């Protein structure tokens, strides 16, 4: 069974961490993955850096620029991850923009993902309709789960449509914004979390964007099945005062 599905069945709140491959150092990829798994993280999103990340705020933009400067490429990422499944069992998702994947060749990319042991993909600028018309068969033939996003502006009808199309989890974007940490959720955001929870969708939801501390993590997971931390972890990697384990403990200790 796909590792994402298996993890989602384990009836626990999912802590998922995003990091940009090739940042801060080109060769950090595998050591970050290993220490995240050892620290008790439930799922990892590996960011494939892109020159023009439209949906990202300044923190992830800067990490992508740095990663590209360091020399990160799609081929190099697959090379770094070649033996990753010998040492970790955590679900791994690649998050990337569509153009680099399109240039690599969508089928070739999916094939490489399967060989490497990638479980799913998040491609923010590949819309549902284009995915279904042109790429779904390819993704599925390589055992990959494609993750769709919803936002506070997504209509109820479209949420249902996305729920139908989803095989793993729904990436629930917490607010109308690009990625980046805020310290608190507003009443409006909490109402949106509740609305989606009350829809009783078949697909579990994981909240992302703006999860920056234990409070926001707890708030999000009191409605949804998990939460994703991105910019806050990138900021931690920039300074790295503590170990990865200590950073993670800040979110999960009771």
Partner 1 sequence: MKNSYHIDEKGCYGEFGGAFVPEMLQPNLTELKEQYLNILEDDQFQEEFQDLLKQYVGRPTPLYYAKRLSETYGTKVYLKREDLCHTGAHKVNNTVGQILLAKRLGKKRIIAETGAGQHGVATATVCALMGLPCVIYMGAIDIERQAPNVARMKMLGATVIPAKSGSKTLKDATNEAIRDWISNPTDTHYIIGSVVGPHPYPDLVARLQSIISKEIKKQLLEVEGKENPDYVIACVGGGSNAAGAFYHFLEEENVKLLAVEAAGKGVDSGESAATSILGKTGIIHGSKTLLMQSKDGQITEPYSISAGLDYPGVGPLHAHLFKSKRADFVAITDEDAMKAGLQLSKLEGIIPAIETSHALALLEQKTFKEDDIVVINLSGRGDKDLQTYIDYFKY
* Interface with partner 1 (CB under 8 A): 50-52, 54-55, 57, 61, 65, 68, 73-75, 97-104, 124-128, 130, 148-151, 153-155, 158, 173, 176-178
Cross-strand bridge partners of residue 45 = 18, 93
Work out the burial of residue 98: count CB atoms within 10 Å of its CB; fewer than 13 is exposed, 13-18 middle, 19 or more buried: middle
In angstroms, the CA 217 to CA 109 distance is: 32
Nearest residue (CB) to partner 1, 40 versus 71: 71
224: left (phi over 0), alpha (psi -120 to 50) or beta: beta
Catalytic residue among 56, 86, 107, 198: 56
Cross-strand bridge partners of residue 14 = 226
Residue 173 CB, nearest approach to partner 1 (Å):
6
Nearest residue (CB) to partner 1, 39 versus 116: 116
Residue 210 CB, nearest approach to partner 1 (Å):
12
Whether 18 and 233 have beta carbons less than 8 Å apart is answered as: yes
In angstroms, the CA 202 to CA 199 distance is: 9
Whether 171 and 122 have beta carbons less than 8 Å apart is answered as: yes
129 catalytic residue (yes or no)? no
Nearest residue (CB) to partner 1, 15 versus 173: 173
Tell me whether the omega of the peptide bond preceding residue 24 falls within 30 degrees of 0, making it cis: yes
Strand, coil or helix: 118: coil
In angstroms, the CA 138 to CA 216 distance is: 37
108 catalytic residue (yes or no)? no
Residue 17 CB, nearest approach to partner 1 (Å):
21
Q: Are strands 92-96 and 226-229 parallel, antiparallel or unpaired?
A: unpaired
In angstroms, the CA 235 to CA 216 distance is: 17
Nearest residue (CB) to partner 1, 99 versus 250: 99
Residue 107 CB, nearest approach to partner 1 (Å):
15
Catalytic residue among 45, 86, 133, 238: 45
Residue 196 CB, nearest approach to partner 1 (Å):
14
Nearest residue (CB) to partner 1, 35 versus 151: 151
In angstroms, the CA 208 to CA 192 distance is: 13
Residue 208 CB, nearest approach to partner 1 (Å):
12
Nearest residue (CB) to partner 1, 151 versus 218: 151
> Which residues are catalytically annotated?
45, 56
């Amino acid at each position: 069974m796909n590792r994402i599905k298996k993890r989602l069945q384990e009836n626990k709140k999912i802590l998922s961490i995003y990091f940009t491959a090739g940042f801060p150092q080109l060769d950090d990829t595998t050591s970050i993955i290993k220490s995240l798994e050892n620290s008790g993280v439930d799922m990892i999103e590996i960011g494939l850096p892109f020159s023009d990340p439209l949906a990202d705020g300044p923190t992830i933009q800067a990490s992508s620029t740095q990663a590209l400067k360091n020399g990160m490429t799609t081929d190099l990422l697959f090379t770094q991850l070649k033996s990753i499944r010998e040492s970790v069992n955590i679900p791994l998702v690649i998050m990337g923009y569509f153009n680099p994947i399109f240039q690599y060749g969508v089928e070739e990319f999916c094939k490489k993902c399967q060989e490497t042991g990638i479980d799913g993909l998040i491609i923010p600028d590949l819309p549902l309709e284009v995915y279904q018309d042109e790429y779904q068969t390819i993704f599925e033939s390589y055992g990959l789960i494609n993750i769709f996003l919803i936002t506070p502006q997504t209509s109820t009808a479209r949420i249902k449509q996305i729920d139908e199309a989803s095989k793993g989890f729904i990436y629930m974007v917490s607010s109308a914004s690009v990625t980046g940490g805020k310290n608190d959720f507003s009443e409006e955001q909490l109402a949106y979390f509740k609305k989606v929870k009350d829809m009783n969708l078949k697909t579990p939801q994981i909240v992302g964007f703006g999860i920056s501390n234990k409070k926001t993590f707890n708030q999000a997971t009191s409605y949804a099945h998990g939460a994703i931390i991105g910019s806050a972890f990138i900021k931690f990697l920039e300074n790295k005062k503590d170990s990865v384990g200590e950073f993670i403990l800040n979110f999960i200790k009771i």
